[in-house]
């Protein structure tokens, strides 16, 4: 959803800015933040229009923290999941709740971006104040997720932001132990090297 004229027409016809799709239960704003099936060149051309759609919906009082869809993702979750940088910036500037967790797994946008290894999105979310210590329903931090899915650059960004290497999840595992159990060699190596550089008290 990135057609400005369609969104304006919908709103002018007194369409509800927080309306959801009956089939998917996703909000209009979440759809606008979702993945577009196009090449990177096409996506770059559409980015500006998509951000305009977000601004129109936000100005029409669309709830930027409305969780929708089967997982209960907010628009920020959608932008973070698909690494849509312009969308993440727009939603952050609109003062979205950075600590809002999805309904199904209790993941914040930062945790979700860590699952997909989106280092640039992580950097933006951290810059805007997202908690590096957020945990999901399994008490896993963003670093646990980067470790589990073997995203070395994401793990590096999180460690630079002072992620707790000793944090234990529901099973009692640290991020390094999660990396070892998952066979995540690159992320695990980064964490092991970082851990050896940190002075022990």
pLDDT tens digits, 127-142: 999 999 999 999 999 9
The phi, psi pair for 169, rounded to 5°, reads: -85, -175
pTM to 2 decimal places: 0.84
90 and 115 inside one domain: no
The phi, psi pair for 132, rounded to 5°, reads: -70, -20
Between the ranges 13-27, 60-74, 88-102, where is the mean pLDDT highest?
A: 88-102
Report d(CA 69, CA 13) in Å as an integer. 24
120 and 177 inside one domain: yes
132 and 85 inside one domain: no
Q: Which of 97, 118, 136 is the last residue of a domain?
A: 97
Q: Which of 34, 65, 97 is the last residue of a domain?
A: 97
199 and 107 inside one domain: yes
Q: What digits encode the pLDDT tens for the residues 100-137?
A: 999 999 999 999 999 999 999 999 999 999 999 999 99
Percent of the chain with pLDDT over 70: 89
pLDDT number for residue 43: 62
In the beta sheet, which residues pair with residue 27?
Answer: 20
At 44, the pLDDT band (50, 70, 90 cuts) reads: low
Count of alpha carbons within 13 angstroms of residue 63, beta-carbon side: 13
78 and 55 inside one domain: yes
Three-state SS annotation for 139-198 = CCCHHHHHHHCCCHHHHHHHHHCCCCCCCCCCCCCCHHHHHHHHCCHHHHHHHHHHHHHC
Domain count along the chain = 2
119 and 155 inside one domain: yes
For the chain, what percentages of helix, strand and coil (3-state, to nearest 5) are there? 50, 0, 45
pLDDT number for residue 1: 46
59 and 83 inside one domain: yes
Is the pLDDT at 36 greater than 70? The verdict is no
Placement of tokens 């239960």 in the chain: 25
In sequence order, which residues have a C-beta less than 8 Å from that of residue 8 and are 6 or more positions away? 56
Q: Which of 97, 118, 147 is the last residue of a domain?
A: 97
125 and 169 inside one domain: yes
Q: Which domain range does residue 144 map to?
A: 100-201
Give the chain's radius of gyration (CA, Å): 18
In sequence order, which residues have a C-beta less than 8 Å from that of residue 201 and are 6 or more positions away? none
Report d(CA 8, CA 122) in Å as an integer. 32
142 and 190 inside one domain: yes
Q: How confident is the model over 167-177, as a mean pLDDT?
A: 96
Q: What is the CATH number of the domain that holds 176?
A: 1.25.40.20
126 and 109 inside one domain: yes
pLDDT number for residue 131: 98
């Amino acid at each position: 959803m990135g057609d400005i004229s369609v969104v304006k027409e919908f709103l002018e016809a007194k369409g509800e800015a927080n309306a959801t799709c009956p089939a998917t239960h996703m909000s209009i704003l979440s759809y606008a933040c979702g993945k577009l099936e196009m090449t990177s060149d096409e996506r770059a051309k559409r980015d500006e229009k998509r951000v305009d759609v977000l601004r129109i919906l936000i100005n029409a009082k669309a709830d930027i923290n409305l969780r929708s869809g089967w997982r209960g993702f907010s628009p920020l979750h959608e932008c973070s999941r698909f690494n849509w940088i312009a969308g993440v910036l727009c939603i952050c500037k609109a003062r979205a709740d950075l600590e809002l967790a999805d309904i199904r797994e209790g993941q914040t946008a930062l945790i979700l971006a860590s699952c997909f290894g989106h280092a640039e999105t992580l950097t933006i979310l951290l810059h805007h104040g997202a908690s590096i210590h957020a945990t999901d329903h399994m008490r896993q931090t963003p670093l646990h997720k980067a470790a589990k899915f073997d995203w070395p650059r994401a793990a590096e960004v999180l460690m630079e932001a002072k992620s707790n290497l000793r944090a234990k999840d529901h099973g009692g595992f640290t991020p390094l132990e999660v990396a070892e159990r998952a066979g995540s060699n690159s992320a695990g190596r980064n964490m092991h090297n970082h851990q050896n550089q940190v002075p022990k008290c």
